[in-house]
Structure 1
Amino acid sequence: MGLIALALVALPVVLGIANLLLQRRAHGPAPAGALVSILIPARDEAARIGPCLAAALASRGVAVEVLVMDDGSTDGTGEVVRRLAEGEPRLRLLRAPPLPPGWSGKVHACWRLAEAARGTHLLFIDADVALAPGAAAALAGHAARRGIALVSGVPRQVIGSLGEALTVPAINLLLLGYLPGVGGAFTRLPGLGAACGQLLLFDRAAYFGSGGHAALRGTLHDGLALPRHLRAGGWRTEMVDGAPLARCRMYGGFREAWRGFVKNAHEGMATPLGLPVWTVLLAGGHLLPWLVLEDPAGLAAALLGLGLRAAVTRRAREPWWTVPLHPATVAVALAIQWNALLRTALGRPAAWKGRAYPAAP
């Protein structure tokens, strides 16, 4: 069993080393005459939208406009934005029309934002994301210099509770440890495309040429669906190191994180064919070693798994205290995926911020 565990953890270790070496960093300058439209869909984000807007408006190195789509908020989000927009011509507040049938809320808000934007580049961010001052310029410069239609990255994840530590770090572990090329543009296959919905920069022509969010109106996982859709149409997409570009606190605790990850898992790992394979890879490589520590191979596998997690944590700039929780984080990730698969099989809708979406077939 120790040798099996060692073999299963060797795969992500080798891929992880390669990905850490291959992953690019975005850097400027932005192309001459560029205008980056920073587009923020917001639904009940009154407590978070202020810092998000302050960071976006502090962008330097490229001209920006900031558009916020208030998507039926009931907590005063629109009023917060309206006050901040007074005397700030670069900031506009929009109101989302009623959600049409077949659309998910965020995707609809993003499409409406794009329609209203004037920029040469469209930078979609979530309302809990704070951009670094040079992020918009770096992303636009990287896209223009390398001829890339979509540039994305995972922001540095701010983790403030045990519940978040047991859930959020799985994002970077899976991307860096299990995705060949970690979404680099040289991996042209649609199935190897990936992005993070918290930070998506599009070349305007490519966005509308591909149909943008309107081409995938029912998706709950635009971070996977959009890059794969663009690649299938012949456009190039790339994930870069997002930690220097932005920071984000996704969720406020375990319950919120569980619900957030479950809602779109069926569009990723939680499929009837895929999840059993993922269970063997993740449980065998990261949980089994801890059950066979008396076997030298099992001990070696456990140490390799922790080493990979430490390397990913360093690159992602996540807290070091989350590293010893690695086996529990993997176990929770698998529990989330199996929960999502069972919900889909039972036809139970995904729910988020007061909206329910039918489970995908």
Structure 2
Amino acid sequence: MFWVTVVQFVWVLVVVGYLTVNMLHLARVNPVSGPLARYPFISVCVPARNEERDIRACLESLLNQEYPQYEVIAVDDHSTDRTGEIMRSLAGKYSHLVCIEGQALPEGWLGKPFALHQAQRVARGEYLVFTDADPVFEPHALASAAHTMMTQNLDMLTLMPRAVFGSFWERTVQPMMFGFIAALTRFGKVNDPDSSRSMGFGAFLMFRREAYDAMGGHESVRGEILEDIHLGKRTKRAGFRIWVADAKRLFSIRMYHSLGEIWRGWRKNVFLAFGRSVFWTMYFSAALLAFVLTPYGVAALNLAAGAGNVSLWISLAAAFLVLISSQHLCDELELSRGYAFLFPLGALVTVGILINSMVHILGTGHSEWRGRKYSVR
């Protein structure tokens, strides 16, 4: 048991060290103060398919930006609920909202890339913003993002929102998912123009129009479920400057409202994020459990077995480091630190989703979302 305890402790030290260094490299975009040197025209593109729950709050937040020249282009992607009706009612109140009825999905295209492709075709902006139908933006969001693009001399900016949690399962599972994604995003490398590492978050992707067109736009990722990640890859490979940053003070998002939504929402693409690799899916599943769950188990076993002082204190130190790391994640996500004690349960559910995504996609050859099935063979 002594060597198991030592190995566990070393693993925790390695992970905590990596996470600490990675977070030190995380850039943060804060609200801009004062006028900008100039105000490039911005086109915000919003795809929506059966989004009646969230589309009004999203669009109204975008339509009330403290920015002098911009447009919002919303695409109703064959919704069967009240999404289109809500969009059209807002278009009657806001002259800078353009509503588009989505065309039939061409062969080889997936729904979201095609909806955004249609939006950008009518966009007039020097800057293009691609987002989802569920974020809610602060009035200074566009100005702050444009300021960052200009001051950092960027071709693409992708931002991470503040996460909003409602239900028990959101507070238990979503922090694990968000923390997992952040851990796998090498922030310093992504923002280093000399590194090939890249990233893209679909909630906010901002491009210079010239860079977007030069790297191929959404047409180049027309068949990709993870189109945001692939846009980031293509942009950086084309030699353009990209940046990823935290933007909790610019916008927020509540992705899913229940355990069922969380499960289905992540199942559709999380296995694809690992390149459809069984090895990497199982490796990161084991790594997550070995960091979030097993240190508590090893400490409990040492206590129950009446282990010697050295083993006991080493195992307690490992568990304490994990708890401190979990509480730091709570701080980042603006959650009560008490939820850190639920993260072992969240890790188990997360691993269940990872494995279910792998089995589902390998077994059926497709992924599904919003009533559509997409082949991933």
- 1:203 match: 208
Question: Who is 1:60 aligned against?
Answer: 66
Contact kept in structure 2, 1:159 and 1:319, CA below 8 Å: no
Q: How does 1:97-136 map to 2 (within 5 A)?
A: 97-136=103-142
* Partner Cα separation in structure 1 for residue 160 and residue 291 of structure 2: 24
The amino acid of 1:195's aligned partner reads G
Could you tell me how far apart the structure 2 residues matched to 1:183 and 1:55 are? Answer: 32
Q: CA RMSD for the aligned pairs?
A: 2.0
- For structure 1, the residue ranges without an aligned partner over 5 or more in a row are none
Task: Provide the residue aligned with 2:53 in structure 1.
Answer: 47
For the structure 1 residues 36 and 200, does the alpha-carbon distance in structure 2 shift closer, same or farther, using more than 3 Å as the test?
A: same
1:326 to 333, 343, 353: 343
Please, which of 8, 12, 17 is the counterpart of residue 14 of structure 1? 17
The more displaced of 340-349 and 44-53 is 340-349
CA distances 1:156-208 after superposition (whole Å, capped 9, x unpaired) = 11111122223321243124434333664116433x31222111111211111
After superposition, the Cα gap between the structure-2 partners of 1:195 and 1:170, relative to the gap in structure 1 and judged at 3 Å, is: farther
Q: Match for 2:329 among 296, 301, 312?
A: 312
TM-score by length of 1: 0.93
Q: 1:319 to 1:125 in 2, by over 3 A?
A: farther
Contact 2:173 2:343 (C-alpha < 8 Å) held by counterparts: no
Q: Distance in 2 between matches of 1:88 and 1:8?
A: 55
Q: State the Cα distance separating 1:58 from its structure 2 match.
A: 1.7
- Structure 2 residue 360 is the aligned partner of structure 1 residue 357: no
Q: In the alignment, which residue of structure 2 is the partner of 1:142?
A: 148
The answer as to whether partners of 2:285 and 2:354 remain within 8 angstroms in 1 is no
Q: Cα offset for 1:349?
A: 1.6
Q: CA deviation at 1:321?
A: 4.5
Q: Secondary structure at the match of 2:51?
A: coil
**Deviation of the 1:70 alpha carbon:** 0.3
Give the one of 259, 263, 270 matched to 1:258: 263
**Separation of aligned partners in 2, 1:91 and 1:321:** 43
**Aligned partner letter, 1:170:** M
Partner of residue 239 from structure 1, selected from 244, 250, 270: 244
Deviations 1:16-62 (A, max 9, x none): 22233221222546551412212110011122111111111121145
SS, match of residue 219 in structure 1:
coil
Q: Choose 1 or 2 for highest CA Rg.
A: 2
CA distance in 2 between partners of 1:159 and 1:321 (Å): 14
Paired AA for residue 17 in structure 2:
V
**Structure 2 CA distance for partners of 1:103 and 1:36, relative to 1, 3 Å:** same
The alpha carbon displacement at 1:343 in A equals 1.8
**2:177–2:350 CA contact under 8 A, matched in 1:** no
Q: Displacement, 1:319?
A: 4.9
* Identity value in percent: 28
Task: Work out the CA distance in 1 between the residues paired with 2:203 and 2:137.
Answer: 11
Give distance in 2, aligned partners of 1:108 and 1:240: 26
Quote how far apart the aligned CAs of 1:249 are: 0.8
SS at match of 2:359: helix
Note if 1:174 corresponds to 2:177: no
CA distance in 1, matches of 2:344, 2:37: 44
* Counterpart residue number, 1:193: 198
Offset of residue 143 of structure 1: 1.5
8 A Cα contact 1:66 1:90, kept in partner: yes
Which whole-Å deviations, capped at 9, do the CAs of 1:51-102 have from their partners, x for residues lacking one?
1111111211452211110000111211111111114111111111011112
4+ residue segments displaced more than 6 Å: none
Shift in CA distance, 37/313, structure 1 to aligned 2, threshold 3 Å: farther
Matched residues in 1 for 2:280 and 2:37: separation? 41
Q: Deviations over 1:310-361 (max 9, x none)?
A: 222322334545322111222222211111111222234211111001134x
Equivalent residue for 2:84, pick from 67, 71, 78: 78
Mark the CA change 1:119 to 1:39 in structure 2 (over 3 Å): closer, same or farther: same
| Structure 1 pair 95–22 and aligned structure 2 pair: CA distance change class (3 A) | same
Task: State the alpha-carbon separation in 2 of the partners of residues 146 and 349 from structure 1.
Answer: 40
Distance in 1, matches of 2:20 and 2:257, equals 31
Give the 3 Å change call, closer, same or farther, for CA 136–236 of structure 1 in structure 2.
Answer: same
SS in 2 for 1:153: strand
Gaps of 5+ in 2: 303-311
Structure 2 residue matching 1:68: 3-state secondary structure: strand
Which deviations, in whole Å up to 9, do the C-alpha atoms of 1:127-178 show, x marking residues without a partner? 1100111111111211222122221122111111122223321243124434
Change (3 A) 1:201 1:320: farther
Partner of 2:27: 24
3-state secondary structure, aligned to 1:65: strand
